[in-house]
Every structure is written in C-alpha cells, then in structure tokens.
Amino acid sequence: MIDPGDARIVQEGLDRLALALEAILVTHHHADHIGGIATLIARHAVAVYGPDDPRIGSISHKLGDGDRVSLLDGALDLSVMAVPGHTETHIAYLGDGILFPGDTLFSAGCGRLLGGTAAQLHASLARLAQLPEQTRVYPTHEYTLANLAFARAAEPQNGRRDAWQARVEHERAAGLPSLPTTIGIENEINPFLRVDTPAIVAALQARSPGTESNSVARFTALRAWKDVF
C-alpha cells in the first residue's frame, strides 16, 4: 500500500480482494498520505518504508535516493528516487516499468510548492521525464480533468492533449479513474514538462513579461499561474 491516507478504505479493499498487507510505502509527510498508517500497522504489524523525515514517526525503514526496496519475497524490486519540490524530502518509487510519484507528478500537472522550491521541482520533473516513455505512472491523486483545464490555458493548441482529455472525460463519466498515465503521454500533454515549448513560452510572455528568460523562471511562473487558476 502506497500513501494510505485513510485506513478504513485500505482495509475495505484488502477484505474485498482477500489480500494480505505486505508493506506500506510513503512518498512524503502530508496527512492525506500518512493518516491511515497508525491504524494499519496496529492491525497488520508490517514494515513502513519512507523518506527520512521526522514528521513521519512510523517509518521503520528510512530511504534516500538510490536505495532499493525488495518486497513479496523478491518478486517486486523498487528503486527510490529523491524528487524534492512539492516537499523537501519527497521520494518516488520505480520498478517493473511502473512509477509511483506521490504528489510530484500528476497527469497534466504537478504538486504545489509546499516546502521545496520551484528549482527543485523543475529538476525532479525533468528527471522523471527522462524515464522510458512506456513507464506507467500512478500519481496519488485523481486531478486530471482540473489539470487539463489549465493545460489548455497554458498551451491552447495541443491535439495530443485534446485526445487525452476526451478519453479522460469518457472514463470519469463512467466512474473510472483516468490513471495510469505514462511518461510518454505526459511529455506530450503536461505543461510542467513542456516549459520550453514555444507556445508555453509565448503564453507566459503574454501573461508575465520577463518571466520567460530560462527554464526555471518559466517553470516558476507557470506554477504560480496554476496556483491561482
């Protein structure tokens, strides 16, 4: 289980699917990601893996960039990536062609700056963008439609994004999640991975002249725009 904010929902899922809890993985310290841990470990007594952050008192295995986590008797091997920005100690998990980025990367968006810096988050996203295009991405939150509305404002003409939005609207209308996405899709539709794209540079220049001088400045301006969108 990754980032269990609500123990009740997790336990209901375990019971419904007849699954045993093997371990808990944490990406960062926010309450909606750790709120269910105490109840779950009291019932299941499993290991808790996460960043070295005193705000997460239940971590039994502290992790940093380049560490590895082996679970399910070695059937699942995950590498740890430090991806600061949303928070200063945020980590992600990567393995078997799957990325769990927490709140660093969303479909068509990224997390707010809640402890880290814009330069850190820009660098973290650039690192994730270099992963293989087929890597499946499971962000912690379903924010896709709201993010796509901003993506359209930042880059009005993007046919690949429009096709993704049509698919997401269909899935959400049917009560289905829009996730996973992939790194390849995000590189084509996510404005926070596309700050050097001429259309986004032009949009930023029109909105805030002088903020488009380099990639970090553009990212900073784009994130600030999204904050008030």
Out of 28, 29, 90, 122, which one is annotated catalytic? 28
Out of 3, 29, 53, 86, which one is annotated catalytic? 86
Which CA distances in Å does 155 have to 4, 28, 73, 148, 158?
34, 30, 46, 10, 7
Out of 30, 53, 90, 122, which one is annotated catalytic? 30
Out of 44, 67, 141, 162, which one is annotated catalytic? 141
Active site residue 33: yes
Out of 3, 29, 53, 103, which one is annotated catalytic? 103
Phi and psi, residue 2, nearest 5°: -110, 125
Which CA distances in Å does 88 have to 4, 128, 183?
20, 16, 23
Amino acid identity for residue 200 in this structure = I
At 152 the three-state DSSP class reads: helix
Active site residue 28: yes
Active site residue 32: yes
Backbone φ/ψ region at 52: left (φ over 0), alpha (ψ -120 to 50), beta: beta
Alpha-carbon distance 155 to 128, whole Å? 21
Out of 29, 33, 90, 122, which one is annotated catalytic? 33
CA 158 to chain CA centroid, Å, is: 22
Catalytic residue positions? 28, 30, 32-33, 86, 103, 141
